[in-house]
Amino acid sequence: MAYYDRQGNSISMEQWGDLRKDKVVEQTRVVSQMVSTVWLGMDHNYRMDDSPPLIFETMVFHIKEDGEWDFSSDYCERYSTEEEAMAGHLRAVEEFQGRT
């Protein structure tokens, strides 16, 4: 498994572990949904080609009546850079605001 810091530089697993406490990029509540974008730090690009590593992810979770998150989600987008992740987060917020 390959590990990367938020700037896309290769790092060790130990460095990745130290950095994981600061993984949230952005979270936005949209009615009963939570749009959450995080730095994964591990390459989630499972294509066997020279594509850049996918180290950020946006998912959308339902917030249950008790305030807990339902971690089943059918929305997931992954990105190579934090800039792409922020743009993707804003797109997801707009999409889910349009559904209310």
More confident residue, 64 or 14: 14
What radius of gyration do the chain's Cα atoms show? Answer: 14
Question: How high does pLDDT run on average in the chain?
Answer: 91
pTM (two decimals): 0.88
Q: What is the pLDDT of residue 31?
A: 87
pLDDT band at 78 (very low <50, low <70, confident <90, very high): very high
For 9-18, 23-32, 65-74, 80-89, which range has the lowest pLDDT when averaged over its residues?
65-74
Query: What gap in Å lies between CA 88 and CA 92, rounded to an integer?
Result: 6
Own/partner contacts of 32-35, CB < 8 Å, gap of 24 or more, are 32/62, 32/63, 33/60, 33/61, 33/62, 33/63, 33/96, 34/60, 34/61, 34/62, 34/63, 34/69, 35/59, 35/60, 35/89, 35/92, 35/93, 35/96
